[in-house]
Amino acid sequence: MILVLGLAAILWGLCAALRAPRGLRFGLIGMLWAGVIGLHATLPDGHPLRLATGTDARIWVMLGLLAALTFAYRHGLRALRNRANPKPAEPEAKGPFRPVELDRYARHIMLREIGGPGQRKLKDSKVLVIGAGGLGSPALLYLAGAGVGTIGVVDDDVVDGSNLQRQIIHADQRIGMPKVFSAETAMRALNPFIEVRPYNRRLTETDATALFADYDLILDGTDNFDTRYMANRVAARLGKPLISGAITQWEGQLSLFDPAHGTPCYACVFPTRPAPGMVPTCAEAGVAAPLPGVIGSMMAMEAVKHITGAGETLRGRLMIHDALYAETRVIAIKRRSDCAVCNAKAMHT
């Protein structure tokens, strides 16, 4: 009998050293107990193993029953205690934010100009960004980081090695991937609590009409005038505010066009498209790498202010930034009475 008890102690000690679960430990002891009972049932009287493990199996049966009764008593007592003192139910999450989101947006929420209500507006808003290139890259990342609930991105291009000098949303491993899906990957990695809608297509006026209708705010970060003028026409027609940015070499400009609220549209400020070659693209004239980050981040900042109502936006004003000489100026812009875009809309409505 001492031999069996010693084996049981050794088994328990080994399991404890290996940090085995208590259930496994009791299971091994139970197997040892069953093995002893089996030996006594099969071996004849006087056999050395029977003598070494006790002369009578009834002793082991009684020990087993006693252990079972003790276990059942402790289990029943624990159940009664739990019933008498139930654990308080965990409080249900209230409000629009999970605790992890409150921690994530804490620096926004503590700003009096944004606060909890402003962060809720950001979460409930839908912003469409045209272009996932130089301007779109920082704008998309900061909109995602700021907690804009739904972000759409339209682009038909793929990531190229020459983009990575300034288009920080993409990565070398994603060269050849459509830009909208590369941008989606980066945005979801930054903030899993937002919805990203990638549109891998060239934006046509028909598509723009359907897409713009589903969003509260449009950001135009494209690098061609056809899309800029088209986006302005559709946004003005639908009454959607449009944040438009542009860059070349060392200079950038930015404004918020919202003719539905009495401010100029893009065509009011630039009624005539520049002649071909007059305003070269970044691919033709080059661009300083941080410049798209400066203007694109300002686009995101204007979006946050517009959505939350914080401060004063660039509605009715045009910001011009000269990075080469570190100069920034803001000029007032006015609506044109003869604008074929926004005043045609005004007369129509």
What would the pLDDT profile of 234-290 be if each residue is shown by its tens digit?
999 999 999 999 999 999 999 999 999 999 999 999 988 877 666 667 777 789 999
Residue 91: predicted pLDDT: 47
pLDDT tens-digit map of 32-73: 666 666 666 676 666 666 566 666 666 666 776 777 777 777
pLDDT tens-digit map of 135-170: 999 999 999 999 999 999 999 999 999 999 999 999
Q: How confident is the model at residue 199 (pLDDT cuts 50, 70, 90)?
A: very high
Distance CA 127, CA 8 (A): 68
Q: What is the dihedral of CA 261, 262, 267, 269, to 10 degrees?
A: -120
Which whole number is the average pLDDT over 291-297?
97
Residue 347: predicted pLDDT: 40
The tokens for 27 are 């299971």
Write out the CATH class of domain 112-348: alpha beta
Its pTM stands at: 0.71
Residue 75: predicted pLDDT: 72
Closest CA to 306 of 217, 245, 234: 217
SS3 14: helix
Distance CA 206, CA 183 (A): 24
287: DSSP letter: B
User: What is the percentage of the chain residues whose pLDDT exceeds 90?
Assistant: 62
Q: How confident is the model at residue 132 (pLDDT cuts 50, 70, 90)?
A: very high
Cα atoms in the 13 Å half-sphere on the side-chain side of 93:
7
CB environment 220-258: b (16+ within 10 A), e (fewer): bbbbeeebbbbbbbbbbbbebbbbbbbbbeebbbbbbbb
Contact present, 159 and 179 (Cβ < 8 Å): yes
Residue 90: predicted pLDDT: 43
275: DSSP letter: P
User: For strand 317-322 and strand 251-257, is the pairing parallel, antiparallel, or unpaired?
Assistant: antiparallel
Distance CA 27, CA 15 (A): 11
- Residue 349: pLDDT over 70: no
Distances in Å between the Cα of 197 and the Cα atoms of 182, 211, 224, 348 are 12, 11, 23, 32
pLDDT tens-digit map of 76-114: 767 777 676 665 554 444 578 899 999 999 999 999 999
332: DSSP letter: E
Which whole number is the average pLDDT over 204-233?
94
Domain(s) labelled CATH 3.40.50.720 in the chain stretch across 112-348
Q: Which of 39-48, 188-197, 223-232 has the highest mean pLDDT?
A: 188-197
Distance CA 333, CA 263 (A): 8
Residue 115: predicted pLDDT: 94
